[in-house]
Amino acid sequence: MLFRTTKEIGDWGERLAARFLRRRGYRIKAMNYRSGKYEIDLVAEGWRDIAFVEVKTRSYHRKDWMTAPPPGMAVREEKQRFTRAAAQRYLFENPTHKQPRMDVIEIFLEKVPEGTRPRVLAIHHFKAAY
């Protein structure tokens, strides 16, 4: 898979995050849920809870990825407000008894030569991140 834009990398990261969650027993209820100008990357349902997940994917040189700023740092206060608003709308449209929470999944990719598929260095899942 060749990536030409950061959007393509981000979309791939969201698919990786969805697979990561499915393998841990979550059911993906929505991808790229939109409510007006607000968006949530993934809505994932567990046995007791429903997670509204912001996915951040970044590419790093292998030698730098452990010391570079993590992708999750990009989920700043404004983004948190926007995803909370979208989550409230989602819950209004899709009532549930499950406990809602706001998660962040960071995906670290290795920068590789053009034409080569990036390798996943790490995936971190922060439950109830904000």
DSSP per-residue string spanning 82-109: HHHHHHHHHHHHS--SSEEEEEEEEEEE
Q: Is 65:108 a contact under the CB 8 Å cutoff?
A: yes
Which of 27-41, 66-80, 100-114 is predicted with the least confidence, judged by mean pLDDT?
A: 66-80
pTM: 0.88
Give the mean model confidence (pLDDT) for residues 16-44.
96
Q: What is the pLDDT of residue 4?
A: 63
Q: How many domains does the chain have?
A: 1
Domain residue limits at 114: 6-126
How far, in Å, are 9, 22, 46, 50 from residue 34 at the CA level?
20, 21, 21, 17
Q: Is residue 1 part of a domain?
A: no
Q: If you ran DSSP here, which 8-state letter would residue 6 be given?
A: H
pLDDT tens track for 37-95: 899 999 999 999 999 999 999 888 777 777 777 888 888 898 999 999 999 999 999 99
In a domain? residue 92: yes
Q: What is the CATH number of the domain that holds 106?
A: 3.40.1350.10
